[in-house]
Structure 1
Amino acid sequence: MENHPKITVVGSINMDLVTLTDKLPEMGETITGKQFKMNPGGKGANQAVAAARLGAQVKIIGCVGRDSFGENLLQHLQSEGIDVSNVEPVTDSTGTALITVYNNDNNIIVVPGANNHVTASFVETKRDIIADSDILILQLEIPLEGVQKAVEVAKENNVTVILNPAPITELPAGLIEQIDYLTPNEHEHSLLIKGMNEQQIKEKVIVTKGSRGVSLYKGDEEITIPSFRVNAIDTTGAGDSFNGGLAVALGRGLSLPDACKFGNAAAALSTLKLGAQTGMPGKEEVETMIKIAEKMKKHMK
């Protein structure tokens, strides 16, 4: 019987408003852009979609506005097979990210809006949902008090906790102590470890390094789980795909190195299409990529 781990995501749900332009306007200037797109986003929603496509039973806890963006995002998440019954509409606007893409770079203004309502008291009302999970995934695009409450409930009920510490902020020592796995990128890692002792770093931290894979500790030895080589088109959402893949694999009982390999494959495949959620792969695609890579490795020996 196939294992479909129960994963709960407590996190952000945004609409990404993307403008492509040949130049950036000066202050007070109006210019004509090349293209405009609206894409579902928010790190919480991204990681929920990643886990759902990889075969998990996914529930998301969060808030959206009573507006068309909120309605559209909920419909989209439901179409991905995600349980949105614990996403509540609030009077604030749905979270948005205003993204201007220029010359292969971008600048972003994030307006959290409804995501700011995912407070400790709100999360407390979802206690039973968290308690019934195999894995809890969190990020830092909601209030820190909401993150802390979710972790507290998870640990009271022996639920494994993954925190993707983005955007990076200083974390209380007591919170770090309760988290099972922290998944920073290299920039976040350098800031995160300032508040951690050596034992915590070795036990909890998995550093994502893009095309150079991920690093973690096996006992006292730092090891690298290599990435899968692909011709990447868009790396947006690759980290979220990794976190979704890591959670699903751990929920299925894989070892940490094997779970990281599964996450790496999911991340690599997600870069082959434009958009954060658009290119997130299914379970069969990930397993096929791992099998092909292992066959090639055997032939090279």
Structure 2
Amino acid sequence: MPEARTAFFIGDVALDDYFTAERWPDIADKALVREAKSYVGGMIANAASVHAGLGGRTEFISLLNDSQLSARLCMALNETGVSTRHMLHDPSLADSRNLIFLVGDEHVVLIIEMGNQPMQLTPEALAGLRTPGYLYMSLGRTKRLRAEGLQGRELLADFRRHGRKLILDLDVDGFSAGDLDYLHGADVLIMNQIGFGHAFGDIDLAGMNAWMRKHQVGTVIRTLAAAGAEAFDGQGRIEVRGYKVPVIDVTGAGDTFGGALTYALGENLSVPEALELAIAAASRAVAIEGPQGGVASLETIKLFRAEFARERS
């Protein structure tokens, strides 16, 4: 059996400070909130931890300051099996924190702005990225990458020439016309229903296939919350249903989906098989509080799928 390839995750890691509230206030309104626990989180870091928990070889890169909190964040990732040896540091940055409010069955996330400073990759990180495997990122981070005089989409093209496959998590923002150069040649685009609507509106399947061929995108995935997810692979539509589970915290469910999907594709599973694993992992995650509630072994996910097989939504 060939040696497992290393997946790189480049993006955010943060301390997630949790609060609960009965309702979310309007502008100029007030609402009572209760302070809860704090967890290590961050969209891409969560996905990396899920990938490592399933048994994947995982490298994570972010840009942090040199504070004790940054050291704590890296240590927590290491404890999940994620390597942070290529981490970048800038002492002028603020601490990396998010404020997360649980309201009913949903959540509101407030992200503390840290700026858009360039991320100058180390020679060692660049060498690693110039090997076959998957790269999982957000769109914003792709624009900040720098190495050997290359930046942004030039670096992405360089990685692809070396066999590195790109998965972009577009989340709620989707993309705009000015982002198309960064998406070109991506293997997978992931977005939720809001992001998909921003990006494609009411596009039909024929239009989707034509768009994917034009921009050489392999697969577009729309997550559908409790209903599951659907994928467009340039040929047709693939749909996978979700699982009926008690909802405790939806924070990190999308990240769990992305990390599990990356693991499955790295294990050479087909897109339908990868979707099945990712949906099971994400469905299990919402029944656990905390942004990394989706971190679990492959055996744990298999047991979950067997237990809830008759409760598909």
TM-score (normalizing by structure 1): 0.84
Query: For 1:151 and 1:273, how far apart are their aligned partners in 2?
Result: 35
Shift of the alpha carbon at 1:293?
A: 6.2
- Tell me the residue number matched to 1:130: 129
Give the secondary-structure state (helix, strand or coil) at the position aligned to 1:137: strand
Q: Does 1:222 align with 2:237?
A: yes
Shift of the alpha carbon at 1:55?
A: 0.6
Structure 2 counterpart of 1:179, from 166, 176, 186: 186
- Tell me the residue number matched to 2:148: none
Q: Which has a greater percent of helix?
A: 1
Counterpart AA for 2:283: A
Shift of the alpha carbon at 1:66?
A: 1.4
Structure 1 counterpart of 2:295, from 270, 280, 301: 280
Q: Does 1:247 align with 2:262?
A: yes
How many residues are paired up?
294
- Tell me the residue number matched to 1:151: 156
Q: What per-residue deviation string (whole Å, max 9, x for no partner) do you get for residues 134-178 of structure 1?
A: 111011353634363552332121111110113524252222222
Give the secondary-structure state (helix, strand or coil) at the position aligned to 1:229: coil
Counterpart AA for 1:177: H
Query: For 1:274 and 1:111, how far apart are their aligned partners in 2?
Result: 21
CA contact (8 A) 2:11 2:141 kept: yes
Shift of the alpha carbon at 1:218?
A: 5.2
Query: For 1:291 and 1:280, how far apart are their aligned partners in 2?
Result: 18
Distance 1:211 1:128, change over 3 A: same
Give the secondary-structure state (helix, strand or coil) at the position aligned to 1:183: strand
- Tell me the residue number matched to 1:70: 70
Counterpart AA for 2:71: E
- Tell me the residue number matched to 2:97: 96
- Tell me the residue number matched to 1:199: 210
User: Mean alpha-carbon deviation: is it higher for 258-267 or for 26-35?
Assistant: 26-35
Distance 1:180 1:104, change over 3 A: closer
CA contact (8 A) 2:130 2:162 kept: yes
Q: Which ranges of structure 1 fall in alignment gaps of 5 or more residues?
A: none
Query: For 1:73 and 1:66, how far apart are their aligned partners in 2?
Result: 11
Query: For 1:150 and 1:289, how far apart are their aligned partners in 2?
Result: 39
Q: Does 1:271 align with 2:276?
A: no
Distance 1:94 1:148, change over 3 A: farther
Query: For 1:13 and 1:176, how far apart are their aligned partners in 2?
Result: 23
Counterpart AA for 2:13: I
Structure 1 counterpart of 2:195, from 185, 188, 199: 188
Shift of the alpha carbon at 1:219?
A: 5.3
CA contact (8 A) 1:141 1:167 kept: no
Q: Alignment identity in percent?
A: 20
Q: Does 1:142 align with 2:144?
A: no
Counterpart AA for 1:155: R
Shift of the alpha carbon at 1:281?
A: 2.1
CA contact (8 A) 2:253 2:294 kept: no
Q: Which ranges of structure 2 fall in alignment gaps of 5 or more residues?
A: 146-151
Distance 1:31 1:226, change over 3 A: closer
Shift of the alpha carbon at 1:273?
A: 0.7
Counterpart AA for 2:227: R
- Tell me the residue number matched to 1:40: 40
Shift of the alpha carbon at 1:65?
A: 1.5
- Tell me the residue number matched to 2:19: 19
Query: For 1:166 and 1:99, how far apart are their aligned partners in 2?
Result: 16
Counterpart AA for 2:109: I
Give the secondary-structure state (helix, strand or coil) at the position aligned to 1:257: helix
User: Mean alpha-carbon deviation: is it higher for 202-211 or for 59-68?
Assistant: 202-211
Distance 1:274 1:175, change over 3 A: same
Structure 2 counterpart of 1:237, from 231, 242, 252: 252
- Tell me the residue number matched to 2:112: 111
Query: For 2:123 and 2:116, how far apart are their aligned partners in 1?
Result: 15
Shift of the alpha carbon at 1:18?
A: 2.2
Give the secondary-structure state (helix, strand or coil) at the position aligned to 1:74: helix
Shift of the alpha carbon at 1:81?
A: 1.1
Q: What per-residue deviation string (whole Å, max 9, x for no partner) do you get for residues 202-259 of structure 1?
A: 8421111112111123554323112233223222111111111111111111111101
CA contact (8 A) 2:86 2:124 kept: no
